[in-house]
């Protein structure tokens, strides 16, 4: 049976959208109806019309964009009544000891700042794309990569994403059990 799924994202350089597109592709192949929109667009929708909600958010300099927490706070009651999931995208997740929900420092820290407790969590390594960054971001990210033993060549473009994990996450979202609707 098809479940209308909302897949909402916040992205910095566009890679989170690419991950969401792969998730949507897999879910659609599984017979699901998926609406893929930015967090800003999702904020204008009636979340009650969706049976499942997935939020994906990128991290820059250790932080998610503020609109993600604002969206979650505004819609927390609805999120808690539906099968739901949250994933984060960051470069630190390129490291095996930081690429899971239980060991990714940014996700762990973020979950302490919001009241919502997602049913399903995931962390995906992002993409390093020095040529598209502005001069200040390129300098800052190169410095971060230097101190974390990452690539520092300003021509570097590396996609660290494990696409099989992205696809497994899409399957896991579709397999989430339905929650009892809470009545007021």
Q: For the chain, give every domain's residue range.
A: 4-126+161-175, 128-159
The token pair that represents 33 in the structure block: 């109806």
∠ CA 170-173-179, rounded to 5°? 170
Looking at residue 169, the DSSP 8-state letter turns out to be: H
Structure pTM? 0.91
Quickly state the pLDDT bin for 113 (edges 50, 70, 90).
very high
Distance (Å, whole) CA 73 – CA 145:
33
User: What is the chain's length?
Assistant: 184
Which distant-in-sequence residues (6+ apart) come within 8 Å of 105 by Cβ?
A: 92, 98
Confidence of residue 179 (pLDDT cuts 50, 70, 90): low
pLDDT at 46: 93
Look-up: residue for tokens 């997602």?
118
The fourth-level CATH superfamily of domain 4-126+161-175 is: Flavodoxin domain (3.40.50.360)
Q: Percentage of the chain with pLDDT > 70? A: 96
């Amino acid at each position: 049976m098809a479940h209308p799924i909302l897949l909402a994202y916040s992205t910095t350089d566009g890679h989170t959208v690419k991950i969401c597109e792969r998730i949507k592709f897999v879910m659609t192949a599984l017979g699901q109806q998926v609406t893929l929109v930015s967090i800003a667009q999702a904020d204008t929708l009636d979340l009650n019309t969706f049976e499942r909600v997935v939020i994906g958010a990128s991290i820059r300099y250790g932080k998610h964009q503020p609109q993600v927490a604002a969206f979650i706070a505004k819609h927390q009651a609805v999120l808690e009544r539906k099968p739901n999931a949250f994933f984060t995208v960051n470069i630190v997740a390129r490291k095996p000891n930081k690429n899971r929900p239980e060991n990714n420092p940014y996700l762990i820290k973020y979950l302490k700042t919001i009241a919502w407790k997602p049913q399903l969590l995931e962390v995906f390594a992002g993409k390093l794309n020095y040529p598209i960054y502005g001069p200040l971001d390129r300098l800052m990210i190169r410095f971060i990569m230097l101190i974390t033993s990452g690539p520092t060549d300003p021509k570097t473009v590396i996609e660290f994403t494990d696409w099989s994990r992205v696809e497994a996450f899409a399957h896991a979202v579709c397999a989430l059990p339905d929650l009892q609707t809470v009545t007021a």
